[in-house]
Structure 1
Amino acid sequence: MKTIAKPTQSEIKIKKSQFICRLFPSKTKEESKEIISKISEEYSDATHNCSAYITSNGEGFDDNGEPSGTAGKPMINALRKNDLHNVTAIVTRYFGGIKLGAGGLVRAYGKSVLEAIENSEIIEIEIYDVYRINFGYENIKLIDQEIRNNRLHITNKLFDENVTYNVVSPNNQDIEKIFAKFTSKVKVESVGQEALEKL
């Protein structure tokens, strides 16, 4: 699977209408909806703010007042065509006074997203099983060494009453098994899956 490394923007003009496409990395549909809401508010002076997203827990699109099927659908199709996941696309349109017709709109919105994709840094992502390991501060050296020895990857660290690491294995090793010998010192639990840049 692929996604974009960072937010990107591109702009095209068709028959005096301005189409500004913004792409954002987004892991969940909730995150996508927040982004869409924020951009729609920021560019509330636009004629339309159409959107499409594909994330780990859902996908969707919105024509935002354009004729049904002429904006959101070609946008999500452009994302699918490029095998992009965990991404949100928003096309802000400022109407230039000349109607484009249904076919013209489909082409314009699709092209707008494709141009933004061309300007993006595309990275490979994989779905990894994520485990949370919790342990006392006195065991940091021991746990860090075990992580290095097994070539595990830490995705998040939290230093509170105890230390908590979120870890993944690039080659799908059984993380619970790795830490089984430390049962008195370490608590290990599965916390689901996450799409990350290929390790």
Structure 2
Amino acid sequence: MAQSITSAVHSELIIKKSRFLGCVQPIADRAAAQVVVASLRVAHPAATHVCWALLAGGQSAAVDDGEPSGTAGRPMLEVLRHQDLEGVLATVVRHFGGIKLGAGGLVRAYTDCVAQALKNATKIPLVRMTALRCSASYALEGTVRREIDAAGGLLQQVQHGEHVVFVFTLAEDAAAALTARLGEIGRGQVIWLDATAG
């Protein structure tokens, strides 16, 4: 199951006088990641490289930022993939120490920097949510509200018209049980509607 992390975690490695400052943090998307990377460039003007890797909402990135191709961003991305992370940005700021590490040394350095940071991360499972919409009579409003709440649903909107219409989100794996339960309780009086309709 895909996981994310609760907050930013950091690491620092010194390898042959080069200083690697790693950070792995939760992130929403590529645009947010680029803002973080830009702020790192400002915060570390003397840095030789600001390499990064992203896995977020189907968007991924592996940026070497001047390091030999495939020696920084890709290894960092592989660490994130190996740990089944989603919604996560890994960055490593490198201050060059004057001694070249070679391709293998760079891969190890960037991989280790991200892996070290992740040792201190608190991971949380990502729950896929689904949007649902149903209508019920006014007599069932309280019951439907209680059942949605008990199933861990989050009410987005309640519309009062001829019937009460509920728009809510719920963990995908809890949806079938809730629809069956409301079907029993409502005896056909809870009608499921297209969640994408207004």
Q: Equivalent residue for 1:56? A: 57
Q: Are the counterparts in 2 of residues 147 and 153 from structure 1 also a CA contact under 8 Å?
A: yes
Q: Equivalent residue for 2:175? A: 172
Q: Distance in 1 between matches of 2:38 and 2:92?
A: 13
Q: Equivalent residue for 1:125? A: 126
Q: Are the counterparts in 1 of residues 79 and 114 from structure 2 also a CA contact under 8 Å?
A: yes
Q: Equivalent residue for 2:117? A: 116
Q: Distance in 1 between matches of 2:134 and 2:39?
A: 36
Q: Distance in 2 between matches of 1:65 and 1:175?
A: 52
Q: Equivalent residue for 1:153? A: 153
Report whether the alignment pairs 1:32 with 2:33.
Answer: yes
SS in 2 for 1:173: helix
Distance 1:129 1:166, change over 3 A: closer
Report whether the alignment pairs 1:43 with 2:44.
Answer: yes
SS in 2 for 1:53: strand
Q: What root-mean-square deviation, in Å, do the aligned CA atoms of Structure 1 and Structure 2 show?
A: 3.4
Distance 1:85 1:134, change over 3 A: same
Q: What displacement does 1:47 show? A: 1.4
Q: What displacement does 1:40 show? A: 3.0
Q: Specify the code of the residue in structure 1 equivalent to 2:130.
A: V
Q: Are the counterparts in 2 of residues 10 and 119 from structure 1 also a CA contact under 8 Å?
A: no
Deviates more, 1:87-96 or 1:2-11: 2-11
Q: Are the counterparts in 1 of residues 19 and 95 from structure 2 also a CA contact under 8 Å?
A: yes
Q: Equivalent residue for 2:163? A: none
Distance 1:171 1:132, change over 3 A: closer
Q: Distance in 2 between matches of 1:142 and 1:37?
A: 50
Q: Are the counterparts in 2 of residues 70 and 106 from structure 1 also a CA contact under 8 Å?
A: yes
Q: What displacement does 1:164 show? A: 6.8
Report whether the alignment pairs 1:93 with 2:91.
Answer: no
Q: Distance in 2 between matches of 1:190 and 1:78?
A: 37
Q: What displacement does 1:142 show? A: 5.9
Distance 1:35 1:140, change over 3 A: farther
Structure 1: give runs of 5+ residues left out of the alignment. Answer: 192-199
What whole-Å deviation, never above 9, does each CA across 1:147-183 have from its counterpart, x for those lacking one?
Answer: 134x1332x8589xxx975444542328788599466
**Alignment TM-score, normalising by the size of structure 1:** 0.73
Q: How many residues align?
A: 184
Q: Distance in 2 between matches of 1:32 and 1:175?
A: 37
Q: Distance in 1 between matches of 2:43 and 2:194?
A: 43
Which structure dedicates a bigger proportion of its chain to strand? 1
**Seq. identity, %:** 30
Q: Equivalent residue for 1:15? A: 16
Could you say which structure has the larger radius of gyration?
Answer: 2
